[in-house]
Amino acid sequence: MSAHLPTAVLWDMDGTIVDTEPLWVDAQRALLAEFGLPQFDEISEEALVGAGMHETAMLFQRAGVPLSATEIVEFVVEGVASRLPNELDWRPGAVELLAELHEVGVPLALVTNSPRDMALLVVEGLPAGTFATIVGADDVTRGKPHPQPYLLGAERLGVAPTSACVVIEDSSHGLRSGAAAGMTTVGIPHGARLTSADADVLLPTLAGVRANDLFDHVMAVSA
């Protein structure tokens, strides 16, 4: 692998590789409607972007949903998973950058707050072997924004969690997780607003971003 590339790149999934945010919003709205509860306002919905499954479940319980955390997660996940295979909407530039990084030998991990089974539905839409490992919600005891998911991703890739590793995320929850794990964070705003304070590097899109560009960002952060 070239010295002018990141040691590894660890990717978020929802909103970063695929545009699943509308599916999550629809499933969450359906849950509230199921029990005749008021819908969340835009700010509350935005706060759910990138949140962990059980953190999300607690918010719905406080809103009055009379289900256990496990039941809430199952309801929402089923609503998304039932639509996902037929509604894979790739984010601009993500598939192209994944392909280039894989081709030049940069180890790649998929690190998501979604369950592993849902992550597999997305991975099946990519060339075999794109990701060396997957870390899903069921692989950790603490989801993003805790650093555990990204630390586990680095461990499974066999790399040290340093600033030479790049985390690509679309939410403040995920960016905080990557930063706490000691990695360089790249924010791609989508389902939630981000500012320069949220990430080491903030890009409007991955369209046109090349593997060497990520190395340049790592060097700029390390300087």
Structural domain count of the chain: 2
pLDDT computed for residue 95 by the predictor: 97
User: Do 38 and 134 lie in a common domain?
Assistant: no
Polymer length of the chain: 223
User: Do 151 and 206 lie in a common domain?
Assistant: yes
On whether the CB atoms of residues 174 and 204 are closer than 8 A, the answer is: no
Tokens of 83: 């639509």
User: Do 118 and 56 lie in a common domain?
Assistant: no
Provide the residue range defining the domain that includes 191.
8-19+89-222
pLDDT computed for residue 198 by the predictor: 94
Specify whether 12 is catalytic: yes
User: Which stretches of the chain are assigned E, i.e. beta strand?
Assistant: 8-11, 108-111, 133-135, 165-169, 184-187, 201-202
pLDDT computed for residue 44 by the predictor: 77
Taking only the tens of pLDDT, the chain with its 223 residues reads: 555 789 999 999 999 999 988 888 899 899 999 999 999 887 677 777 667 777 888 889 999 999 999 999 899 989 988 888 888 899 999 999 999 999 999 999 999 998 999 999 999 999 999 999 999 999 999 999 999 999 999 999 999 999 999 999 998 989 999 999 999 999 999 867 899 899 999 999 999 999 988 888 778 876 6
pLDDT computed for residue 2 by the predictor: 53
Q: Is residue 118 part of a domain?
A: yes
Specify whether 19 is catalytic: no
Catalytic residue among 12, 19, 198, 200: 12
Question: Closest Cα to residue 13, out of 130, 136, 97, 99?
Answer: 136
User: Do 101 and 151 lie in a common domain?
Assistant: yes
User: Do 31 and 95 lie in a common domain?
Assistant: no
User: Do 61 and 170 lie in a common domain?
Assistant: no
Catalytic residue among 14, 170, 198, 200: 14
**Cis bond leading into 145, ω under 30°?**
yes
pLDDT computed for residue 50 by the predictor: 61
User: Do 109 and 55 lie in a common domain?
Assistant: no
pLDDT computed for residue 92 by the predictor: 96
pLDDT computed for residue 43 by the predictor: 67
